[in-house]
Amino acid sequence: MDTGKTLIEMHHIIKKYSEAVIALNDVQFKLNSGEIHALLGENGAGKSTLIKVLTGVEKRDEGTILYEGKGIHFQNPQEAQRKGISTVYQEVNLCPNLSVAENIYIGREPKKGGRIDWKTINNNARVLLDRFDLDVNVTRKLDTYSVAVQQMVAIARASDISAKVLILDEPTSSLSRVEVEKLFEIMRRLRDAGMGIIFVTHFLDQVYEVTDTITVLRNGEYVGTYETGKLSKVELVGKMIGKEYAELNNKLEENSEETAEGELFADLNKISGFGTIQDIDLQVRYGEVLGLSGLLGSGRSETARLIFGIDKIEKGSFEIKGKKVKFKSTLEAIRKGIAFCPENRKTDGIVGDLTVRENITLALQAKRGMTKTISKQEAQRIADDYINKLDIKTPSSDQLVKNLSGGNQQKVILARWLATKPELLMLDEPTRGIDIGTKAEIQKIVIELAKQGMAVIFISSEIDEMLRCCGRIAIYRDFKKIAEIKGNAISEETIMRYIAGGDLYEKTI
Amino acid sequence: MKKLYKLTKLQAFWPVMILLFILLFNGIITGGSFFEMKIVDNHLYGRIIDIIRNGSKLMLLAIGLTLVLATGGTDISVGSVMAISGAVACSIVAGSLLPTAGGNVAIAITIAILAGVVCGAWNGFLVSKIKIQPIVATMILMVAGRGIAQLITKGKIVTVNSDAYYFINGGYIFGLPFPIYIVIFTLILALLVTKKTAFGLFVEASGCNPNSSRFAGIHVGAIKLLVYTCSGALAAVAGLIESAGIKGADCNNAGLMIEMDAILAVAIGGTSLNGGRFSIPSSIVGAIIIQSITTTVYAIGVPPEITQVIKAVLVIFICLFQSAEFKSAIMKKIQIRKVA
């Protein structure tokens, strides 16, 4: 790979949020043109902080940053962007109520005679997105498209603005496999055009698929920079978190033995939703982890939403412990012993401005009712209990949840539901955007809970994880359940084939 | 020192500081007479007492609006609800409405407050069920409310002649004006409901993130309905005080533009207009600040034509002081000077 000239050099970067919280300690980083550089590390390793320091979101305390050989000190991300460094974040940072084309050209609209030249904007936007093989109507509002499309638009905008450096912070979290392929193709094309790309991700497979160089951070310190081809995956994991991962992994293997069939908790009989799933049959039993597998939008999350009473059931019968139910609100579902960690933890999970303690006790308080207040002491006890049990990393239970890292926020939501002592726990993508250490921990907790007799529904896009956690897997395609496999029949290949839609397999059902 | 630092982190800290400053300023420019209190006929008189008595309506509205704003909504109909409540109560006392009640003040008060509850519930219904944006939803009643009040009074200014009714504004108990007791009672009730039940937590959660709250089993719609209803009821009480003060119902002018002062009071108290964390005592302080400014403007002899301008300028300064960015910018300047 041709390494080109050095674009960015960072030396001895130190960033302290306070005397006690050192986010970056003497970190270095180097990016060449025509290179895709993976920035890796667990949550809290300092990846995001390093990017924030580079782009001027945060000010560094010490150290030098050279950009094309010149020392720089960006005051804000806009300045960085003007100089040719732009960032696409995990959460789409665009305006959902503006059109796709407006989003691409906002702040730099081409003008004609002092007025915005809409024709050029729309045409250029179309040409730009064509290059990304994105077939969208650029005059429609952004929020009429899926998150994946929005993310692609954000990347298109960034690559159009900055010709030199593109930073992608977890861009693939909400993309499907096909979309990821498309993104990688674009990344390679941009690299070949001489752009330097910094790629932050949690998916190690993707690192090996697309990057040239890897820089690893751990606990705010620089571990090293490696050529991707010369570092094995095991070595890489070792560099990122040390030995713990291997141990955790072993433990999980032991746990994934087949379990005896438990008692029936919920029985879905030919359930359909309005414009979503159709004729779904599903039995949920105590003491097992039932996986719902399929592509994004295949009906897995929709099933969980129907069970939890968020969306209405159109037809079919839904029984819990042999009794017919029809939930008018989530509260009724909660009172029947159901808990649900939704897919999007930021918008549907945490209440950011409330404390960790309040977030943990929120659902329990709702379950008990408004007048049966949980006293501060009791809330404190419950919160401390779960902070210990789930190893939630927070200075205290008084900390606002928005200040916690993604993995710890997920644990807080998990704690919220465990506090309600549920009989059925539904987890939708509980490990998305979370570092592998925490990921393994959450998987372990899930298996442990099922062992203790809880019914668990587990939804994930990562087949790896499904294999590890689930004793039985229902597979969805186009809002229909197309198969159910369990025990030894579960393998990556079978699941993939069902999802991909081999007709041969459908006949065997 | 550490305790002092902790104190500055309280939501009520800066509002209280601003209030103290304004009071001190008043004291200085009036040469101390601002703080003078006299006891005449066993009644306490003085500027401070005036401020609290005249500010009582604003304080009541601020309590209701704190809850509404904490859910991320707003209620600009409170002034009109005051007019409706005053019209209902005065018409009943005067006998033009519900003559069978025989001008009974207790019945008049009850029905007037009920009218406020209905108005508030209507607002809540529009916001939570029909899902109209709060400012538009409450604007409907803001505009229509005065018309409704006119219908009740048949377009006339209804005057009442009842000492029992006058007592609501002008009465004294243990030397203190009666409206003060209304405020204290309401404040205690509001604190009990928001702190001793989970109502406060649910309001904050609904305001911070309605989606997450719904997923956690909170009936966000019901919470909203409830806070708008509270706001309506409290506006009705404020309307009673107002009409008792002018001894009649003036549908065109009762509570005119007071909703802006009340929202401002909550904002000065530090509750975010985007919803979330709230503090009712801070809003009370905010209301007193606004009332004190009004009094100050008169006290320093500003011509009435430009009082609104002076008020606006003061409010700008207060809002600046409430802004976290402004404060940290000033702190930095001070630190740099120290280093140099």
- A220 in Cβ contact with A46 (< 8 Å): yes
d(CA B205, CA A235): 44
Q: Would you say residue B42 lies in a domain? A: no
Alpha-carbon distances, residue A372 vs A333, A444, B193, B195 (angstroms)? 19, 33, 12, 12
pLDDT bin (cut points 50, 70, 90) of residue A249 is low
pLDDT band (50, 70, 90) for residue B338 = low
Residue B273 touches chain A, beta carbons under 8 Å: no
Give the separation between CA A77 and CA A8, rounded to whole angstroms: 16
As for how many domains chain B has, the answer is 1
Q: Of B17-21, B195-199, B230-234, give the range with the top mean pLDDT.
A: B230-234
Minimal C-alpha gap between A196 and chain B (Å): 35
Distance from the B274 Cα atom to the nearest Cα atom in chain A, whole angstroms: 11
Instruction: Name, of A162-176, B7-21, B42-56, the range with top average pLDDT.
Output: B42-56
A353 CA: distance to closest CA in chain B (Å): 6
So what's the pLDDT on residue A508?
40
Closest CA to A485 of A461, A464, A460, A466: A466
Question: Tell me: the pLDDT tens digits for A304-357?
Answer: 999 999 999 988 999 999 999 999 999 999 999 999 999 888 889 999 999 999
Whether residue B333 lies within 8 A of chain A, CB to CB, comes out as no
What does the alpha-carbon distance between residue A254 and residue A256 come to, in Å, rounded to a whole number?
6
Q: What is the nearest CA distance from A504 to chain B, expressed in angstroms?
A: 40
Which of A290, A265, A295, A288 minimizes the C-alpha distance to A480? A295
Instruction: Examine residue B171 and state whether it is found in any structural domain, yes or no.
Output: yes
pLDDT of residue A194: 87
Contacts of A328 in chain B (CB under 8 A): none
- Based on its alpha-carbon atoms, the radius of gyration of chain A, rounded to whole angstroms, reads 24
Bridge partners, residue A213, by sequence: A37, A227
Please say if the pLDDT value at position B255 is more than 50: yes
Is the confidence at residue B207, as pLDDT, over 80?
A: yes
Average pLDDT taken over every residue of chain A = 85
CATH number, domain containing residue B161: 1.10.3470
Per-residue model confidence (pLDDT) at position A2: 45
In a domain, B247, yes or no: yes
Strands (DSSP E) contained in A219-279 are 221-227, 264-273
Average pLDDT over residues A437-443: 86
**Contact in structure between A264 and A283 (CB atoms under 8 Å):** yes
Is B114 part of any domain?
yes
- Partner residue opposite A350 with nearest CB, options B201, B212, B218: B212
Query: How far is B308 from B316, CA to CA, in rounded Å?
Result: 12
**Residue B39 pLDDT > 50:** yes
Residue B213: closest C-alpha in chain A = A351
Distance (Å, rounded) from C-alpha B338 to C-alpha B340? 5
Greater confidence, A154 or B213?
A: B213
pLDDT for residue B298: 77
B162: contact with A, CB 8 A cutoff? no
For residue A342, the chain B residues in CB contact (below 8 A) are: 215
Q: Which domains does chain A have, with CATH numbers?
A: 6-242 (3.40.50.300), 250-337+422-507 (3.40.50.300)
Q: What is the mean pLDDT of residues A199-228?
A: 87
In a domain, B14, yes or no: no
> What number of C-beta contacts closer than 8 Å exist between A and B?
74
Phi, psi values for residue A438, rounded to 5°: -65, -35
Residue B337 has pLDDT above 80, yes or no: no
Residue in chain B nearest A419 by alpha carbon: B216
Inter-chain residue contact A352 with B208, CB threshold 8 Å: yes
Q: What is the mean pLDDT of residues A429-449?
A: 85
A301, A308, A353, best to mutate vs chain B, most B CBs in 10 Å: A353
Give contacts of A330 with chain B, Cβ < 8 Å: 214-217
Domain coverage including residue B118: 53-301
Q: Do A363 and B216 touch (CB under 8 A)?
A: yes
For residue B297, pLDDT beyond 50 = yes
DSSP state of B116: H
CB < 8 Å to A349, chain B? 212, 215
Higher pLDDT, B45 or A91: B45
What number is the average pLDDT over the span A411-429?
95
Residue A351 has its nearest CB partner, among B196, B212, B217, at B212
Mean pLDDT value of segment A431-442? 81
Confidence band, pLDDT 50/70/90 cuts, at residue B119: very high
pTM: 0.76
Whether residue A507 is predicted with pLDDT greater than 60 in this model: the reply is no
Name B45's bridge partners.
Answer: B38
Instruction: Tell me the pLDDT tens digit for each residue of A114-145.
Output: 888 888 889 989 988 888 777 888 888 888 88
B80 occurs within a structural domain = yes
Q: Would the pLDDT of A212 be above 90?
A: yes
Q: Are B292 and B23 in contact (CB under 8 A)?
A: yes
Is the pLDDT score of B231 beyond 80?
yes
Q: What percent of chain B has pLDDT over 70?
A: 98
Inter-residue contact B145 to B77 (CB < 8 Å):
yes
Verify whether the Cβ–Cβ distance B218 to A349 is below 8 Å.
Answer: no
- Position B167 in a domain: yes
> Is residue B273 predicted with pLDDT exceeding 50?
yes
